[in-house]
Amino acid sequence: MIQLQIHSPIEEISNPLFEEKGVRLYVKRDDQIHPFISGNKWRKLKYLLREAEKRKKKHLVTFGGAYSNHLVATACAGAKFGFRTTGFVRGEVVTNHSLMLCKLFGMELQFISREAYRDKKAVFDMLEASEDAMFVDEGGAGQEAVQGCSELIGELDQKYDHIFCAAGTGTTAAGILKGISQDHLKTQLHVVPVLKNGSFIANDILKYQNDSVSLNLHSCYHFGGYAKTTPELLAFIKDFASSTGILLDQVYTGKMAYAAFDLIRNDYFMRGSKILLIHTGGLLGLLSQAEKIA
Ligand SMILES: *Cc1c(COP(=O)(O)O)cnc(C)c1O
């Protein structure tokens, strides 16, 4: 059966701000699960890969943007566990570090128009309808992914009052919420959408796990929208890296950690609170920022 030895330790980080506000901050290092099948992407792929194995599929067909961490994770997982992989990339032909890695891991890349991309099932049926191919949705969304992400809660060493995660589709958040509900924890989940107007994501999350009591959405930390950044966000990432030894990216985890710090600064949390940030990995995005880091 498809297995990956999970290595995701939790470490406490310190900062004068936390002492001043009387809170403790911890980071769950899902970024250490694997360098390329990183963070939430392994959790999201795990049961899909098992399903592919069970159904004797040999070929994973999936979708993503040109900077998709999911494409890289699927390419690497395919290479590691013996699947052929095809990645449909949204938009015009480009080259970058992420797509280079996909190619190194043997993924066949096909660029398709944004219009065609909207109907992924149709693309799959037209081009890849062979018996041994399996459709894997963009970002690995779906019930299997939610189940995989829910397992994170069972790995925790102690009770946390608050857990933070970044959200693109919200699947990871839905999984964590499921874990919290199943274990009847009092933990509050704080979700930071990385897209503009991200409040729609609450519905997408609650569709999987209807527990609005534990769910808090902070939709004003998108910094202009998906993959958008500001000098302030990059400065925060640099400060965080130089004071903790932990890298964040500007697309996902940088926004999530920024939100947590900002809320701590604004006395959002009671003294004595224990706060856990989920480092969902995905550091490749940083490689596009070389010229912007001051
Ligand atoms: C893909 C990704 C996310 C978003 O996960 P969703 O389940 O789509 O919300 C968050 N963080 C990182 C680092 C990612 O690569």
Residue 85 has pLDDT above 70, yes or no: yes
pTM of the model: 0.96
Phi, psi of 190 (to 5 degrees): -115, 115
For the chain, give the mean pLDDT: 95
Q: Show the ligand 1 pocket: residues with CB < 6 angstroms.
A: 39-41, 69-70, 139, 166-173, 252-253, 280-282
Burial label for 121, CB within 10 Å (0-12, 13-18, 19+), is: exposed
Strand partners, 109: 87
Kindly state the helix (H) or strand (E) to which residue 215 belongs, with its residue range: strand 215-217
Closest CA to 171 of 193, 197, 145: 145
Give the whole-angstrom CA distance, residue 13 versus residue 8: 15
Sign of CA dihedral 60, 65, 67, 70: negative
pLDDT-based confidence at residue 60 (cuts at 50, 70, 90): very high
CA of 29 to the centre of ligand 1 (A): 14
Mean pLDDT score, 169-184:
97
pLDDT tens digits, residue range 18-50?
999 999 999 999 999 999 998 899 999 999 999
Q: Whose CA is nearest to atom 15 of ligand 1?
A: 282
Instruction: Report the residue among 30, 38, 40 best suited for mutation to probe ligand 1: largest number of ligand atoms under 8 A from its CB.
Output: 40
Q: Order of strands across the sheet with 24-28? A: 10-13, 24-28, 274-278, 162-167, 188-193, 215-217
Residue 269 has pLDDT above 80, yes or no: yes
Range with lowest mean pLDDT among 128-132, 197-201, 287-291 = 128-132
pLDDT-based confidence at residue 112 (cuts at 50, 70, 90): very high
138 neighbors 64 (Cβ within 8 angstroms): yes
pLDDT-based confidence at residue 164 (cuts at 50, 70, 90): very high
CA distances from 14 to 136, 188, 237, 271 (A): 40, 21, 15, 15
pLDDT tens digits, residue range 221-255?
999 999 999 999 999 999 999 999 999 999 999 99
CA of 42 to the centre of ligand 1 (A): 11
- Residue 52, SS3 per DSSP: helix
Give the whole-angstrom CA distance, residue 108 versus residue 210: 38
